């Protein structure tokens, strides 16, 4: 025992590997080697390439570089507040999702009629810009009740992205030294958050306030 650490004398050493038994089975050797080769040489490098190719499209705050280029081209010191919904609608993040389907065109035209009085004359005729512009104005004017489930999902996606995109617009205005446009973008972000537009009373931010209550408050009754 003192010599070998065992009362029965010298013992042979056995080593086992903590892996599933089918991996160690000689009949499965070729299959295991092929699977290992495919994963290590094919799948993992492809995933790494895919990740870096996608990440190279995005800049600060996960905003696409194409979106920054779009903002640089369309934002200037003379950009008006009412033109910001259309510019936001042309962001690269919306170009694949907001392509109007054939059965949506009629609904988009119908929704446009309800918000046309609040819209500035469109500058871009691209279907993605038109659809996004109409959806944003339906939100700002609180006229989303008539939207289909698909259009409502597209609008909700735009609203989820709007915070980071409006921040990107402000950043572009800072680089261009366009102070008034930056202020307009900040104000536009508030309008998007509150679902209000330029002619609406700020009292509509309050819960349960409608135009009826606002009218009583403005008349002092």
Give one DSSP letter per residue of 39-102, joined into a string: IIIIIHHHHHHHHHHHHTTB-GGG-BHHHHHHHHHH--TT--GGGHHHHHHT-GGGTTT-PPPT
Q: Lowest mean pLDDT of 5-9, 11-15, 83-87, 191-195, name the range.
A: 11-15
Q: What is the mean pLDDT of residues 132-146?
A: 93
Q: What is the mean pLDDT of residues 158-184?
A: 94
Q: Is the pLDDT of residue 181 over 70?
A: yes
Rounded to the nearest 5 percent, the helix, strand and coil shares of the chain are 65, 0, 35
Looking at residue 55, its pLDDT comes to 67
Percent of the chain with pLDDT over 90: 43
Among 190, 100, 85, smallest CA distance to 138 is for: 85
Among 175, 1, 178, smallest CA distance to 81 is for: 178
Residue 165: band (very low, low, confident or very high) from pLDDT cuts 50, 70, 90: very high
* pTM given for the model: 0.72
Residues 6+ apart with CB under 8 A from 57: 64, 65, 66
């Amino acid at each position: 025992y003192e010599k070998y650490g065992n009362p029965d004398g010298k013992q042979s050493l056995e080593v086992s590997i903590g892996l599933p038994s089918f991996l160690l089975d000689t009949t499965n050797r070729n299959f295991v080697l092929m699977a290992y080769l495919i994963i290590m040489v094919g799948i993992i490098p492809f995933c790494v390439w895919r990740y870096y190719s996608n990440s190279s499209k995005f800049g600060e705050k996960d905003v696409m570089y194409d979106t920054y280029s779009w903002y640089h081209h369309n934002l200037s010191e003379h950009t008006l507040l009412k033109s910001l919904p259309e510019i936001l609608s042309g962001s690269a993040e919306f170009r694949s999702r907001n392509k109007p389907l054939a059965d949506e065109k009629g609904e988009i035209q119908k929704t446009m009629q309800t918000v046309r009085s609040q819209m500035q004359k469109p500058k871009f005729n691209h279907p993605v810009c038109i659809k996004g512009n109409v959806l944003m104005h339906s939100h700002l004017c609180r006229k989303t009740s008539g939207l289909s489930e698909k259009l409502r999902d597209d609008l909700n996606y735009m609203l989820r992205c709007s915070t980071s995109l409006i921040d990107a617009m402000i950043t572009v205005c800072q680089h261009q030294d366009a102070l008034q446009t930056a202020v307009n973008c900040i104000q536009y972000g508030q309008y998007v958050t509150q679902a209000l537009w330029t002619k609406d009373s700020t009292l509509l931010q309050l819960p349960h306030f409608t135009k009826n209550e606002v009218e009583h408050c403005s008349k002092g009754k």
